[in-house]
Amino acid sequence: MTARAAPAPLPPATTVGLQGWLRQNLFSSRGNSVVTVVLAVVLAWFVFNLGSWVFVEADWTVIISRAPLYIVGLYPYEGYWRLCICLLLISVLLGMSWRAWPNAARRFAFGFGAVILFVGVFPHEMAPEHRALLLLNLPAIGLGYVLTPRPADASPGRLEAIAGGTLAPALERGAIFSTPRRMISAALVALVLTMILILGIAGVPGLDPVNPQDLGGLMINLLLAFFGIVCSLPIGVGLALGRRSSLPILKVACVIFIEVIRGVPLITLLFMSRHILPLTFPEDLNIDRVYLAGITITIFSSAYMAENVRGGMAAVHPGQAEAARALGLRDWQNTLLITLPQGLRNIIPAIVGQFISLFKDTSLVYFIGMLDLVEMGRVSVQGNQEFIDNGREVYLFIALVFWVFCFSMSFISRRIEGVLGVGRR
Amino acid sequence: MAETNGVHAAVDIPADKAEILARPLEERDDIVVCENVHKWFGDFCAVRDVSMRVKRGEVVVIFGPSGSGKSTFIRMINRLEEHQQGRIVIDGIEMTNDVRNLDAIRREVGMVFQQFNLFPHITVLGNITLAPQRVRHLPRSEAEALAMQLLERVGIPEQAGKYPAELSGGQQQRVAIARALAMQPQIMLFDEPTSALDPEMIKEVLDAMRELAATGMTMLCVTHEMGFAREVADRMAFFDEGALVELGPPDQIFNDPQEDRTKMFLDQIL
Ligand SMILES: Nc1ncnc2c1ncn2[C@@H]1O[C@H](COP(=O)(O)OP(=O)(O)OP(=O)(O)O)[C@@H](O)[C@H]1O
Ligand SMILES: [Mg+2]
């Protein structure tokens, strides 16, 4: 009975390890070897040239000397500390997400921390108190992490351990549901505080109101995209439910709204919001262009959101609705409790994708005279004789900033998809 | 398998049920009455002229070839499909378009599907407590106590906190049974509850159904588990081409089928 199976034969050395990988992927035939070598040479040449330009020839003064303009626009200097505190709030939320959904948020938290550290220690002009507030983000992430209870649904093993006795259900429910709920309330509080800090309140010392027109730079791109997505979600859900409804008038109204908005470029909507809509306002109603832009972007985004939501709900298996009906749930209960939650969950990656494209689209607000990141770059170059030759530096920087944000978003989105896979059929 | 222990535990039957069960079938009242029921999909007649009466506490197994209208028939009993001609009365409630009647019938009738159809975004416990809380308006603590009792009964109380996707097929189907029972129905419908399961899981689901039958639940089961039918069914109904061809006790169906079509079908599958 002790006869042991012969050890499994090892694969040939040429198919494993670095050597095997190289052989299989780059040098599998003579033709492939030639292509590999040629591409490697071209790539090296390209990287070398770009690198020597970036590190030797390029003059980054145009960015470094004006850094705050790209980040926050004309926001008053006295208020910078308020923005720093907003960032701290975001860091706490990030730390909480890290704890609650480690698989989705951990690496992002690391990346965010690295960027903060880099900007915080980079030897450029910055008031020491702002530098200190910036570096405080690192402990803030840790604080958020520590404040959050460890989720139970992270590992099935732990779940089993909790669910031992009959007390299990109560414990389970607490562990699974308390985390997101706490997250949602924390996020709402942070959102309100952020808005108060950014815009200020008249009469409160230290919180002098800021003219909304002074909001600019990357901050305005992020704010518009964020509020666009957050506000368009409920509107989009409403439109999608309307489109699915059996009331013909409601249905037609929603279809018309969605198709009209989706059929028009954002830039024309912005134009109309600035130049045509005000004609219909009462004389004394003067809505700031920042809010007009926000409303327009929200409306634009809602139409796409509605279609996403509808698609997500349509993808829910029809058996779900049958089970709900068989249990005696009404149609509206089925929609709200069964179909909509599953539909929304189906479209989380699509929502992130929409956020990415909306974030890029917000650069169109230059069209109604706002100084977003891209427009600020253009003004820096064309408005200053000394930087007239630095267009390349500016646009490379802007592209890098957009890329970093969009890449992080799609990275998170893929992580979330992985995490959501757990609870699904 | 340790986790199926609960299934065979002695079942306590409520006094009113016990009293009914004590009576022979023919002295009990009809809980399901179908008279000349028809159903068309477009021009296609999926169920034609079916009349059937089911006694309280009776177990009827429905079988027949694919496409013979078995699913369509039992789905008409809780109005997942609408019958277009004839009459259906469930525990004295006439099946009409009246929403109140419909609500009352849905409370009377529970259903278990071939594909389980558990709600994947909520836990096992949430699946079972959802309808009792939302439809019967039980307080959460009561709904949860009931759910744990039912999970105990189908032998998987330790799975309460998991999500459906974390369970095996057999466990999922047992959760689906518990979910339907949580509405405390008078009648349970099963549409091929074991067809989507691997062989080793079929037994645990059939055991749960056996136990349920022993408590005096009225059951209509579409299934081709003939061993189960022989053992548990009071009567068997053979469907073919939308019609109820033969209805009789298992003894008659297996040993002395009255219709050629029944005999031919049984010869094929046995
Ligand atoms: N929604 C529908 N629309 C059109 N035809 C349908 C629909 N549902 C069922 N049918 C048809 O009605 C007939 C009966 O279907 P049913 O599902 O009741 O059969 P079944 O006996 O349950 O078969 P199976 O054993 O394959 O489940 C089939 O021919 C089927 O194609
Ligand atoms: Mg069927």
More confident residue, A221 or A99: A221
Nearest to B117 among A319, A328, A423 (CB): A319
Tell me if chain B has a CB within 8 Å of the CB of A418.
no
Residue pair A200/A79 in contact (Cβ under 8 Å)? The answer is: yes
Q: Which atom of ligand 1 is nearest to the CA of B70?
A: 21
Query: Which token pair is A346?
Result: 């189906």
Query: Which token pair is A326?
Result: 């068989």
Out of A126-140, A151-165, B19-33, B256-270, which region has the weakest mean confidence (pLDDT)?
Answer: A151-165
Distance from CA of B34 to the nearest CA of A (A): 19
Distance from CA of B135 to the nearest CA of A (A): 6
More confident residue, A98 or B170: B170
Of the candidates B149, B198, B161, B179, which has an alpha carbon nearest to the alpha carbon of residue B9?
B149
Model pTM score: 0.83
* Nearest ligand, measured from the Cα of B46: 1
Nearest to A163 among B144, B161, B176 (CB): B161
B92: left (phi over 0), alpha (psi -120 to 50) or beta: left
The residue to mutate among B37, B40, B41, having the most atoms of ligand 1 within 8 angstroms of its beta carbon, is: B41
Query: Which token pair is A69?
Result: 């303009």
Integer Cα distance of A376 and A68 in angstroms: 11
Tokens 């040449």 sit on residue: A45
Q: Which atom of ligand 1 is nearest to the CA of B68?
A: 21
Which among A158, A316, A327, A329 is the top mutation candidate for probing chain B, defined by the most B β-carbons within 10 Å of its own β-carbon? Answer: A327
Residue A15: what pLDDT? 67
Interface touch A159/B162, C-beta < 8 Å:
yes
Q: Which atom of ligand 1 is nearest to the CA of B47?
A: 14
Nearest to A176 among B123, B147, B165 (CB): B123
Query: Which token pair is A1?
Result: 């009975």
Averaged pLDDT for residues B192-205: 94
Distance from CA of B121 to the nearest CA of A (A): 6
- What is the interface pTM, i.e. ipTM, of the complex? 0.91
For residue A163, is pLDDT > 70? no
* Helix, coil or strand: residue A204: coil
Tell me if chain A has a CB within 8 Å of the CB of B77.
no
* Helix, coil or strand: residue A4: coil
Integer Cα distance of B257 and B270 in angstroms: 14
User: Residue B190 Cα, ligand 2 centroid: separation in angstroms?
Assistant: 10
Residue A3: what pLDDT? 53
Q: Among positive and negative, which fits the CA dihedral B244, B245, B247, B253? A: negative
Tell me if chain B has a CB within 8 Å of the CB of A159.
yes
Tokens 């990030």 sit on residue: A94
Summarised one tens digit per residue, pLDDT across range B43-59 is 999 999 999 999 999 99
Q: Which atom of ligand 1 is nearest to the CA of B114?
A: 27
Please state, rounded to an integer, the average pLDDT across all residues of chain A: 85
User: Residue A67 Cα, ligand 1 centroid: separation in angstroms?
Assistant: 68
Residue pair B263/B256 in contact (Cβ under 8 Å)? The answer is: no
B46 in ligand 1 pocket by Cβ < 6 Å? yes
Residue A152: what pLDDT? 52
B67 in ligand 1 pocket by Cβ < 6 Å? yes
With helix as H, strand as E and coil as C, how does chain B read? CHHHHHHHCCCCCCHHHHHHHHCCHHHCCEEEEEEEEEEEECCEEEEEEEEEEEECCCEEEEECCCCCCHHHHHHHHCCCCCCCEEEEEECCEECCCCHHHHHHHHHHEEEECCCCCCCCCCCHHHHHHHHHHHCCCCCHHHHHHHHHHHHHHCCCHHHCCCCHHHCCHHHHHHHHHHHHHCCCCCEEEEECCCCCCCHHHHHHHHHHHHHHHHCCCEEEEECCCHHHHHHHCCEEEEEECCEEEEEECHHHHHHCCCCHHHHHHHHHHC
Give the closest residue (by CA) to ligand 1 atom 26.
B66
Integer Cα distance of A163 and B163 in angstroms: 13
Above pLDDT 90, what percent of chain A?
52
Averaged pLDDT for residues B177-183: 97
For residue B241, is pLDDT > 70? yes
B180: left (phi over 0), alpha (psi -120 to 50) or beta: alpha
The residue to mutate among B39, B45, B48, B70, having the most atoms of ligand 1 within 8 angstroms of its beta carbon, is: B70
Q: Among positive and negative, which fits the CA dihedral A250, A251, A254, A259? A: negative
Integer Cα distance of A238 and A306 in angstroms: 8
Nearest CA in chain A to B161: A172
pLDDT band of B228, cuts 50, 70, 90: very high
B71 in ligand 1 pocket by Cβ < 6 Å? yes
Averaged pLDDT for residues A5-33: 76
Integer Cα distance of A197 and A190 in angstroms: 10
Summarised one tens digit per residue, pLDDT across range A368-406 is 889 999 999 999 999 888 898 889 999 999 999 999 999
Integer Cα distance of A180 and A104 in angstroms: 14
B68 in ligand 1 pocket by Cβ < 6 Å? yes
Nearest to A341 among B113, B121, B162 (CB): B121
Chain B contact set for A173 (CB, 8 A): 123, 125, 161
Give A196's contacts (C-beta < 8 A, 6+ positions apart). Answer: A207
Chain B contact set for A178 (CB, 8 A): none
B185 in ligand 1 pocket by Cβ < 6 Å? no
Nearest CA in chain A to B75: A326
Running DSSP on this structure, what letter comes out for residue A73?
B
Integer Cα distance of B176 and B182 in angstroms: 10
For residue A123, is pLDDT > 50? yes
